Amino acid sequence: MDPKRSKNCAIMLKSRFKKKTEMDIYEAILKMDETILTPSDVTAMLEFVPTPEEGVLLDGYTGDKDLLPVTEKFFMTIKNINGLGDRLKCFDFKLNFEEKLSDV
C-alpha cells in the first residue's frame, strides 16, 4: 500500500472517528446512517475507497487483523462492502442534496 495514502487515510480516520470502531463505520456505511456519518465524513471517505490492488494485497494477509496499522485495518473491514465507492457516492449525494438544490 502506498505509504502516503495510508498516512493520509490514518489522519482522516483519527481526526474524524476518534470514538468509533471500524465496525461502527462499516455499519454506518451499510445503513447510510446520517447520525454517525456527516456529509464531510462521507466526502472525505470517498478519497479512501480501497483500490482493487489494495483489496488483493489485503486478501493475501493471513495474520492477526488487530496487528495491522490503522488504515489497513480499516480497509480490511470495509473492502467487502458491495459497491463501496458507488454506495458512498450515493450517500454523499443524499447528504448534500438540499445544499446542491439550493445552489440551483
CB proximity list for 55: less than 8 A, separation 6 or greater: 75, 79
Question: How large a percentage of the chain has pLDDT more than 90?
Answer: 83
Q: Read off the pLDDT of each residue in 39-62 and give the average, rounded to a whole number.
A: 93
pLDDT, residue 36, reads 93
DSSP labels, 17-82: -TT--HHHHHHHHHHT-TTT--HHHHHHHHTTPPPHHHHHHHHT--S-GGGS-HHHHHHHHHTTST
Q: Read off the pLDDT of each residue in 73-88 and give the average, rounded to a whole number.
A: 94
- Residues 80/23, Cβ–Cβ less than 8 Å: no
Q: In the chain, what are the domain boundaries?
A: 3-13+20-103
Task: Name the band, by pLDDT with cuts 50, 70 and 90, for residue 102.
Answer: confident
pLDDT, residue 50, reads 94
Per-chain mean pLDDT for the chain? 92
Which amino acid, 34? Answer: E
